[in-house]
Structure 1
Amino acid sequence: MTARRKDYRLDSQPASFSGAPIETLIVRFPDGDGPAQVFDFRAHARRADMAAAIALAFRMHCADKAPQTRTALFVSGIRQWFVFLDTHDPQCWLIRGVDIDAGLVRAFLVWLDTRPVSIGSRYSLWSAMRSLLRWLERCRPDLVAVDLALPYNAFPRKNALTPAREGLGDGDMDAVLAACRKDIDAIWRQHITGQEALARVDRAKIARTLQLRYLDLDDVGVLMAVIIDRCGGIIPPQEEMLRAGAGVSRVVWALKQHGGAQHFARYLYPDSRALIAFVIAIGAQTFANPDALLGFTRDCVGEHPLFDNRAIVGWRKGRASRVQRRSFLRDKTLSPPRLVEQVLALTTPLVGHVTASERDRLFLYASLHGKGRHVGVLNCNIALQQVERFVRDHSLTGTDGAPLKLNLAALRTTGLSRAHAALGYDLLKTQALANHASLDTTRRYVDRPLAREGQARELSRLQGAFVNWVRGDADEVTRTLRISSAAAADIAAGRNATASGFVCRDPLAGVGPDQAPGRLCIAWLGCFSCPNAVIPLDIDTLARLMATRAALGDARTRMAPERFALLYEPKLAILERDILPRFPDAMHAQARERATAIGLAPIE
């Protein structure tokens, strides 16, 4: 069977928009697997020419974007632009694309500054519209004013002025995960009970029995088989089941005996309330953004290439160019790979009831709405409602006694803060874990009072260890290098520091950690390029440094130029430029006499 090719064609549009007809104000994005996504610009028909130019930019710029991205840009960028125009130009003098000039853009930015929203929201509104204006400026400059100019940084210090993201305390997060475990255990137990009951009944015999009065609908397995075989696996609305000729009216009364349709449905498939515990538990451990978390696909778990007891969870992040990946153990109760497997089992009956574009999504749910039913993918609005319900059901409260301020965005902030502490408050490691482009973004996530206290403690510990090392504390050297106390005493006393003023007398002796006698130490002269090197200000140290400079100068005349330039030229430059000039001139004469008596290992 030949695979269907996705249709990337777009509706035709006229090249010029002078006196644009209304038909050009409808933008369609065809989808070979489902209905086309349609955006109607006719609400802005009073400025038809300008609306048509913006519609063209929207159509071309968003051709390869996700449906959610298109919707967000249309709602947050384009609509706000025309709201601004209605306020700025109520008489509709500005109706053409060429009326979009530098002055109008500046007026739009001033108007955004008056909006009662955060600076981050103002930046998002501007960024959405800027992408379309930039496309017009670059690809269709004839549709906008000649002097159109887009400022590089319209909202400076956006990140600095944005308050730190709020997270949950360790105790609050532990309570949330305990509530998730309780819900997940109950939901999974009901699912297993239903599957076992369904496996015990004779499905073929039930299918042959046309009259439901001859079936024992008090049996969970029998009722499940009836709903699967005669209702497509989804419980229909009550009015539909009671309709004459439907033949399933007895199912209504049977469902009431089993606790109601909503309770019984969880034997078959999850509703949004059942899924939210899985969403929270997975989000708390993957640190995924809310949109990315709800966009998990059914193939998001893969095998680990090295460890059989681990699995890799991968997902897409909106502004990232690569797939986000994290590895987890498989055998933990709330391990994300295990939770994903459970969600797959729960939602499998719903795959055939959603559109083709949604069949690869993980968080599918079904619900009854009055006289209809809905099967689809969990979205942010539904998730927000169910998170609030989750907090109420488990009576989760904060330190102030009010309901806990839990949301999906707080999971990422809290998870990264806890990981930051586990990583020793190392921002670089936390940045790599979060896949942030800049350290500033990571800092805004983890900049909390507890994190600042932990960073201060860690910095104090490192500074203390450094001071002890400089002072020659043998115990500290033993712990740091993991060597014997005798070797540490030699290092601390400086018995090996006779070659270059650091911790080496003979770079071929192999006295250093993990070094072999007869082979040049891998750290030879490395301290010259270390910005944290501590050099004692005394004549003996200066003499050894001057002897090293002389030895390097002799080696330059005997060694291949390429080898010297690669291995020793940078160190010699640092020695002559940065180290020796720091010693007082009065010490140089005395040190020069001692330097001639110091013997060094050959430099090769």
Structure 2
Amino acid sequence: MMIDWGKPRAGAKVKRAQRRSFDRRRPYAAPHLVDRLIVMTAPLAAHTRPQERDMLFLLKSEKTGAVAVIPMGTLHKGVKRFIDRANARIAIWNRAAPERRREPLPDFAAAFLRGSAATRVYTASQGDLIAAQALLNHARIDTTERYVRGPEAERTQAQTIARAQALMIGWVMGETSPSETIPAPLPASVPFGHDCLNLLAGDRPGKLCSQLGACLRCPGLVIPLDTEHLARILQAIEALEAARLRLDPARWALIYAESHRILTGDILPDFPDELYEPARAIMATLPVLPVLE
């Protein structure tokens, strides 16, 4: 299912289709929620303006009887009522069971959910900004960077930067720093197992490279011809091919097809045949890659 929506910051126009695949076996997958909304608002669609009949979120005004798209003010009031009802139940629970106290819900707006989801994915993946970019379907990685925030995300960023700095100093100086000064290894900051020597290089000096995620097309890309890198590349190819069977074909072609072509057609042939068998043995020990969506 493909869902398009207009963004106020984009002039309330659909400038780029938002595409995402969903597993319909999950009862609360987005397609099922969309189906429910269509059923709920079907009686209203015939009474709204022609340009709004295909909209999902319709509401009939109690005052005027007019049918239109739900105003943001009404949505905010509905969220506030939900929080108030939930916190009233939590207060009753806390009075009855103070030893198992529950935290009340904070005030929030629907606009916060997108950034919260991005931050949770970023921290859960130990600093994989590309995983968050795929979730939010951003064309540029620096757009995703603005959504990732909070103390936990800042700690993850600091660890990633410290690790990259320690590795770079070691390579330049030819020295190995004491293991206790280097943070625990994190997933590669760019796809397919190779590391970027300078994440801040690119078209905006001092800021994260806006092309991060398209690293296979970077003119500075260097991949050592060893078994470890071959294992990671073979693992990445398997993940891409599994995603091709699962995702919407248009989405896979738009986001992943070029990476698959470069890996299989340009990079893989450079590895000697004798490295394949030990590389496949290493594949079994590698961390599982995030599911491509």
TM-score by length of 1: 0.25
Bigger relative CO (Cα 8 Å, ≥ 6 apart):
2
TM-score by length of 2: 0.47
Choose between structure 1 and 2: higher strand proportion. Answer: 1
Tell which structure's C-alpha radius of gyration is larger: 1
